[in-house]
Amino acid sequence: MITFSRFTHYFSAIVDYGSIRKAALHVSASAIDRQVLQAEKEIGAPLFERVPGGLRLTAGGEVFVNLVRGWQRDYRRALTQIDELQGLKRGHIEVAIIDALTEGFVAEVIAKLAADHPGLTVGVQVLDNDEVARKIIAGDVNFGLLLASESTRDLQIRASASAPLGVAFQSGHPLQDSAHVRVSHTLDYKPILPAPPLVISERVTSLFDRHDVDAQRFMACNNTQMMRSLVRQGVGVAVLCWLDVAADVAAGQMNFRPLKDAHLKPLQLHLCVAARRQLSHGAREVIRHFEAGMADIGLT
């Protein structure tokens, strides 16, 4: 019989890294290779195809990886049920978030959780918007934070916060005297626009098109961190979502003004769980902390 917990750990690492050498974190590659060969012998079929530069799953390996992923989910659920019997003395919650939330309130919420419940740990996965939704539906995470889109249709929304589109700029910029900014106001200040695959890209392009402004003539970037860096260097002003710059504004590193347009609705940040999924006591407590954090991230 395979030493299941040890082998599945090695097997998952090989799948994730694509080679035995990269998966061998604290164990020799030869030891892991022996585990794989022993498993293949007992199963009676190869799990990996040896190819130049690494390993590739066989058809049998694809079947086995689904089994392992399912076993890992069941194992986490079993631990959660055991944790339920012990209150919140210990436990682990997995959360998926979008990149715009890597600075600011999420870290603050987790810090408060660590202080309030030292035995409760939180794992954070930073993913694109659609992948956050997929992780929630698959049960790979307890809940997720993502912007409203088609991907949220099959999810249960537990909390929401408004996240307007606007313009980020340096302190002392002429736009600082305006309560709101229109597209026409940005044109003389070298606007930096979001490019695909950023969620807001299509919305910003449509907004500029509606004002008969060719977005193609301006600088574009597909990374919000880079866009913020360009603003801090004085390259131009960036059209971004409030979530992208809330931490910068709070730190006094830049300013932000919402874009004013009759047809432009704010984006919505949603805290979502899988529909019909029963949440553990630990997950409910973590969600309660996140709901409180979301209530404080509005634009003031």
- Identify the CATH number of the domain in which residue 50 sits: 1.10.10.10
Res 84: pLDDT: 60
Tell me: do 248 and 171 sit in the same domain.
yes
**Cα 229 → chain centroid:** 21
Band of the pLDDT at 281, cuts 50, 70, 90? confident
pTM over 0.75: no
Residue 77 is assigned to a structural domain of this protein: no
Q: Look at residue 89 in the predicted model and tell me its pLDDT.
A: 61
Q: Residues 129, 278: one domain?
A: yes
Distance of CA 83 to the CA centre of its chain: 26
Q: Which domain holds residue 143?
A: 89-162+268-294
The rounded distance, in Å, linking the Cα atoms of 6 and 205 is: 50
75 inside domain: no
Cβ of 101: how many Cβ atoms within 10 Å? 21
- For the segment 150-161, what is each residue's pLDDT rounded down to a tens digit? 777 789 999 999
**Which of 154, 170, 129 is closest to 257 using CA atoms?**
170
Q: What is the pLDDT of residue 96?
A: 97
Residues 272 and 252 in one domain: no
